[in-house]
Amino acid sequence: MTKTYQKNDTAIAKLDELQFQVTQQCGTERPFDNAYWDNKAAGLYVDVVSGEPLFTSLDKYDSMSGWPSFTRPLEASNIQEHSDETLGMARTEVRSKHADSHLGHVFPDGPIDQGGLRYCINSASLRFIAKSDLETEGYAEYLPLFDESKKSNTNNAQVAILAGGCFWGMEELFRKQPGVIDTRVGYTGGHIPDVTYKDVKTGTTGHAEGIEVTFDPEKTSYRAILEFFFMAHDSTTKNRQGNDVGDSYRSAIFVLNSEQAAVATDLIKELDASGILPGPVVTEVVKAGEFYEAEPEHQDYLQHYPTGYTCHWVRQDWALKK
């Protein structure tokens, strides 16, 4: 069952004076004198009004500003950004989507190796839910994020290379899947070496916008990765996803060995036989070649630009029956 988050009078009435001033009147709490600026516990930070998930301790760092600081949101779709010139300077305000709470601002001075952004957030806008309380509080789906065994078990990691349209949206969906250790986007399946985004956009290099998914085989499987892949994009339309048209947006599975090839072809046969898709699968199953990593600005794109373009979503009714 999908959890809903909303703003209501009952939740507003429960706010203390500072929480109301910050979330409803765009106030700012004092630095170094707030609940979470130095909180190092593992868990989620949710909107104090609606409970919508916003940030995680995994992306929190000490910016020396005196306010909780994060390199990226947990759920980019729950974050909205607005231009703010109230202090005579151009800033980017951050608000929650469902509660429309003022959260703080985002600045381009965060850790370079983590995207370069600093989400400077008021503690008064947040409620912290410790890792140990996630299940009882209704956030059990986020427990895999804090799975220490997943973090340490990288020696046996496996890789899936997929193409299913614009890689921005694909990466955003895959990065949160249980068992996924890492993702990166790039270009593959073409005939020209060392390509760039500009090259691929010409449509003459033969490359597809791809995603490399590194996963822990003890937490998930190659088949499970592919099953999600077929739910996350339209595999029945050739060279197109949404408004994006061209062979760089084709559906393809780039297999690394014969075992992956067998899993992919068997799954496609099952999908075609099931009748759950709107048409026959046109996904290519081809031997993997060179994967050229995309430019830094394309990595984790929707984490850095939550309102950026995407044409991807998960179709639950496209899942094979177990």
- Annotated active-site residue 311? The verdict is no
Q: Determine the Cα–Cα distance for residues 222 and 237; give it in Å rounded to an integer.
A: 23
- Annotated active-site residue 166? The verdict is yes
Q: Would you state the structure tokens that stand for residue 102, as one six-digit string?
A: 């003022």
Q: Give per-residue burial for 250-261: e unless 16+ CB within 10 Å, then b.
A: bbbbbbeeeebe
CB 238 within 8 A of CB 247: no
Instruction: Determine which one of 166, 185, 232, 267 is catalytic.
Output: 166
Instruction: Determine which one of 94, 120, 211, 288 is catalytic.
Output: 120
CB 172 within 8 A of CB 302: yes
Residue type, 173: L
Q: Determine the Cα–Cα distance for residues 118 and 111; give it in Å rounded to an integer.
A: 8
Give Cα separations from 143 to 178, 227, 307 (angstroms): 9, 22, 26
User: At 111, is the secondary structure helix, strand, or coil?
Assistant: coil
Q: Determine the Cα–Cα distance for residues 278 and 264; give it in Å rounded to an integer.
A: 19
Q: What is the CA radius of gyration of the chain?
A: 21
Residues with a catalytic annotation lie at: 120, 166
